[in-house]
């Protein structure tokens, strides 16, 4: 296994993931629009995707959403795991989102670039590092909405980042939408417990 992420045949050992993580920690982000998912007004003209859903707030919904986001519930609901397990959601944290896909595995190195902890909104954004199939940023938010509900959203400002991803762009776009729906579903389930 090389020191970068990306798709590969088979499943990585812990030592192999540690090697990819070590390389990722020394890497720079692969894009120049840091903050574009959370502050779109700073980056006019960019194409972004946003998927959101409103769910009932059981009273402690924002705290439950924060717990779910900080423990990677959306990623786990997709079937991915985070390496290292229990990685902190804090600015500068570098981690791998590892997604098994049949006999393949996608290892996506990311870095948390912003954390939101406000009275009515919690969430974070992470950005791509070398080896990630995409190039850009993804944000996960939960905020109070009108009518006593919580608005959960996933915001993406990314494009294919590798030759394989560029060749598979139509499939990657479909997967990205499916992943965003799955992220939101997992977080909504977590809040409703």
* Run of H or E residues at 189: helix 169-192
Q: For the domain with range 6-192, which CATH number is right: 3.10.310.70, 3.40.50.720, 3.30.1490.20, 3.30.530.20?
A: 3.30.530.20
So what's the pLDDT on residue 126? 98
Is the distance from CB of 151 to CB of 47 less than 8 angstroms? no
So what's the pLDDT on residue 5? 66
So what's the pLDDT on residue 136? 95
So what's the pLDDT on residue 4? 64
Phi-psi region of 76 (alpha: psi -120 to 50; beta: other; left: phi over 0): alpha
Query: What CA–CA distance (Å, rounded) separates 80 from 126?
Result: 16
So what's the pLDDT on residue 8? 67
- Each of the 193 residues of the chain gets a pLDDT tens digit; together they read 445 666 666 788 999 999 999 999 999 999 999 999 999 999 998 878 899 999 999 989 999 999 999 999 999 999 999 999 999 999 999 999 999 988 889 899 999 999 999 999 999 999 999 999 899 999 999 999 988 899 999 999 998 777 777 777 677 777 778 889 999 999 999 999 7
Residue 83 tokens read as: 């390496």
CA neighbor of 54 nearest in space, from 124, 123, 155, 153: 153
So what's the pLDDT on residue 1? 43
User: What residues have CB less than 8 Å from 11, skipping those under 6 apart?
Assistant: 100, 105
Q: Report pTM.
A: 0.91
């Amino acid at each position: 296994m090389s020191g970068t992420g990306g798709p590969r045949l088979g499943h990585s050992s812990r030592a192999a993931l540690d090697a990819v993580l070590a390389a990722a920690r020394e890497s720079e982000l692969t894009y120049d629009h840091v903050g574009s998912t959370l502050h779109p007004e700073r980056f006019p003209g960019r194409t972004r995707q946003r998927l959101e859903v409103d769910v009932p707030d059981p009273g402690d919904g924002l705290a439950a959403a924060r717990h779910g986001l900080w423990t990677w519930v959306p990623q786990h609901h997709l079937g991915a795991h985070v390496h290292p397990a229990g990685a902190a959601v804090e600015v500068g944290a570098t981690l791998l989102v590892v997604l098994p896909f049949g006999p393949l595995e996608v290892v996506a190195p990311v870095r948390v670039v912003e954390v939101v902890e406000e009275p009515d909104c919690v969430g974070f954004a992470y950005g791509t590092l070398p080896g990630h199939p995409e190039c850009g940023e993804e944000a996960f938010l939960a905020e109070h909405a009108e009518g006593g509900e919580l608005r959960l959203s996933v915001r993406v400002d990314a494009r294919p980042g590798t030759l394989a991803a560029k060749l598979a762009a139509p499939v990657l776009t479909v997967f990205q939408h499916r992943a965003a729906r799955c992220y939101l579903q997992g977080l909504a389930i977590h809040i409703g417990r």
